[in-house]
Amino acid sequence: MSVTAQDVEAAAGRLEGVVGRTPLHRSPRLSALTGLDVWLKREDLQDVRSYKARGAYNLVVQLSKAERSAGVTCASAGNHAQGVAFACSRTGVRARIHLPRTTPRQKRERIAALGGQFVDVVVDGDTYDDAAALSHAYALSSGATPVPAFDDVRTIAGQGTVAAEVLDQLPATPDAIVVPVGGGGLLAGVLALLAERSPGTRVLAAEPAGAASMAAALDAGGPVDLPDLDGFIDGAAVRRVGSETYAAADRGRPTMLAVPEGLVCVEMLDLYQSDGIIAEPAGALAPAALRLSAPLGLAPGSTVVCVLSGGNNDVSRYAEVVERALVHEGLKHYFLVDFPQEPGALRRFLDEVLGPDDDITLFEYVKRSNRETGPALVGVELQRREDYAPLMRRMADSALRVELVEPTSPLFRFVQ
Ligand SMILES: Cc1ncc(COP(=O)(O)O)c(C=O)c1O
């Protein structure tokens, strides 16, 4: 049975006074950049720093007495686990949360702190799939209720409350809402509410370009496994969407947008540096989608709400975020340079090939036994995108053999 606007509104009633109503802030920066009237729904300001407490709480609070006493279980490496821990500490229901061993210590500690005495955190298994299998086995042996991260009508109705708040908070009906998509729980809930309460509002669904599993499902006529997955946008990198969430997307037919991971990094840095907002990669997906060069079909001045879905970013990730943003903007390039077996070759490269503002950010001889000569991996950062063509011209004119390492090349993985 599909989720209705009434289900979402009933969920909103259950959440009242427990799960925070987050602010809706206008973004002068994104409005100026896009010519639209852009608003950010600040789910990063939830207690658990993402919207995930909504769906988890809406599910757990509806369990029967018998189900409550048998407890719940889930597997997650991130925000869903925090949502479940929060829901269980508020309802007094015990949870066993399975985390893969790769989960950073900071996340384990946050999940344990949110859940307090009600949550057992089990760290086992090498991958998320291993943790999910352990959680599944535990549910079968103990009778605990699984709490799905997206493919459950109670989870979906809870996530949909984001859109109910937006309609309440915005003075006029929004022309469009941009929603990030992983397994599709938030998207399904938003579509359910808007179809009945604001059918004129368009829904734009933003997926990571390297994990566009909802677009793949809509193309195939049902959920399919993506053969390859870029895991960088961890919250939204889902190999296969759910059957409930797929059905909702199939009914609602949102505009699907594939957002390159590098563009998400560009937006994460602008959020951080210009707006003072810490967004995790999945949290920045929706605002990043407004920066796509492809036309979005929105008239100038349209009112657009982006769901900034989460802010659990580990500070150690920013180095990679900066790197990916520079590459995406065409400001950072990598080359394999074959230096001839003669003295002074490196000096000539510096003098003749590099421009006055170009910077070497990486220099590594590929053959350790052959220092000073032989091929080297060289990273060059430019001040301006226009500096690229002259750099390439000087490389072509030099006597050196130079090969550009394309971001799509397997070698590129070693430099990021
Ligand atoms: C911050 C954030 N945004 C978006 C998503 C995608 O969620 P959904 O599975 O509801 O599509 C997630 C999922 O964990 C998330 O943590």
Enter the tokens of residue 107: 């996340």
Q: Is residue 236 in contact with ligand 1, taking CB distance under 6 Å?
A: yes
CA 307 to ligand 1: nearest atom: 3
309 a catalytic residue: yes
Q: Residue with the nearest Cα to atom 14 of ligand 1?
A: 235
Q: What is the DSSP letter of 50?
A: B
Helices 318-328, 261-275: crossing angle, 10 deg rounding: 110
Does pLDDT of 305 surpass 60? yes
Q: Taking a C-beta distance cutoff of 8 angstroms, is the pair 185, 312 a contact?
A: no
Enter the tokens of residue 163: 């859109």
Q: Which long-range contacts (CB under 8 A, 24 or more apart) does 61-65 make?
A: 61/14, 61/87, 61/91, 62/14, 62/154, 63/93, 63/145
Residues 228-256 as b/e (b if ≥16 CB within 10 A, e otherwise) read ebeebbbbbbbbbbbebbbbbbeebebeb
Mean pLDDT score of the chain, rounded to an integer?
Answer: 93
CA 149 to ligand 1: nearest atom: 9
The reply to whether 330-414 shares the fold of 53-146 is no
Q: Residue with the nearest Cα to atom 13 of ligand 1?
A: 235
Q: Is residue 282 in contact with ligand 1, taking CB distance under 6 Å?
A: yes
Q: Is residue 242 in contact with ligand 1, taking CB distance under 6 Å?
A: no
Predicted pLDDT of residue 399: 81
Cα angle value 211/215/216 (rounded, 5°): 75
| CATH-assigned architecture of domain 53-146 | 3-Layer(aba) Sandwich (3.40)
Does pLDDT of 416 surpass 90? no
Helix, strand or coil, per DSSP, at residue 14:
helix
The CA 44 to ligand 1 mean position distance, Å, reads 12
Predicted pLDDT of residue 256: 98
Q: What's the rounded mean pLDDT across residues 146-169? A: 97
Q: Is residue 254 in contact with ligand 1, taking CB distance under 6 Å?
A: no
Enter the tokens of residue 182: 């992983």
Q: Tens digits of per-residue pLDDT, 126-143?
A: 888 889 999 999 999 999
The CA 405 to ligand 1 mean position distance, Å, reads 33
Q: Taking a C-beta distance cutoff of 8 angstroms, is the pair 43, 310 a contact?
A: yes
41 a catalytic residue: no
Q: Tens digits of per-residue pLDDT, 87-141?
A: 999 999 999 999 988 887 778 889 999 999 999 999 998 888 889 999 999 999 9
Closest CA to 353 of 325, 389, 392, 408: 392
Q: Is residue 76 in contact with ligand 1, taking CB distance under 6 Å?
A: no
What's the rounded Cα separation, in Å, for the pair 402 and 398?
9
Query: What is the best residue among 309, 313, 314, 317 to mutate for testing ligand 1's pocket, by most ligand atoms within 8 Å of CB?
Result: 309
Predicted pLDDT of residue 197: 98
What's the rounded Cα separation, in Å, for the pair 135 and 177?
34
Predicted pLDDT of residue 95: 98
Fold of 330-414: Alpha-Beta Plaits (3.30.70)
Q: In what order do the strands lie in the sheet with 303-308?
A: 24-26, 37-42, 303-308, 176-180, 202-208, 255-259
**The CATH number of the domain covering residues in 5-51+155-322:** 3.40.50.1100
Task: Tell whether the torsion through CA atoms of 249, 255, 258 and 263 is positive or negative.
Answer: negative
Query: What is the best residue among 43, 46, 51, 267 to mutate for testing ligand 1's pocket, by most ligand atoms within 8 Å of CB?
Result: 51
Q: What's the rounded mean pLDDT across residues 156-185? A: 97
Q: Residue with the nearest Cα to atom 12 of ligand 1?
A: 235
Q: Is residue 79 in contact with ligand 1, taking CB distance under 6 Å?
A: yes
Helix, strand or coil, per DSSP, at residue 378:
strand
CA 226 to each of CA 210, 241, 252: distance values in angstroms, whole numbers, following the listed order: 9, 10, 22
Amino acid at 363: F
Catalytic residue among 41, 50, 52, 107: 52
Q: Show me where the domains of the chain are located.
A: 5-51+155-322, 53-146, 330-414
Q: Tens digits of per-residue pLDDT, 249-259?
A: 999 999 999 99
Q: How many CB atoms lie within 10 A of CB 342?
A: 9
Q: Is residue 208 in contact with ligand 1, taking CB distance under 6 Å?
A: no
3-state secondary structure 172-203: CCCCEEEEECCCCHHHHHHHHHHHHHCCCCEE
Q: Is residue 286 in contact with ligand 1, taking CB distance under 6 Å?
A: no
Cα angle value 209/210/211 (rounded, 5°): 95
Q: Taking a C-beta distance cutoff of 8 angstroms, is the pair 183, 242 a contact?
A: yes
Query: What is the best residue among 49, 84, 150 to mutate for testing ligand 1's pocket, by most ligand atoms within 8 Å of CB?
Result: 150
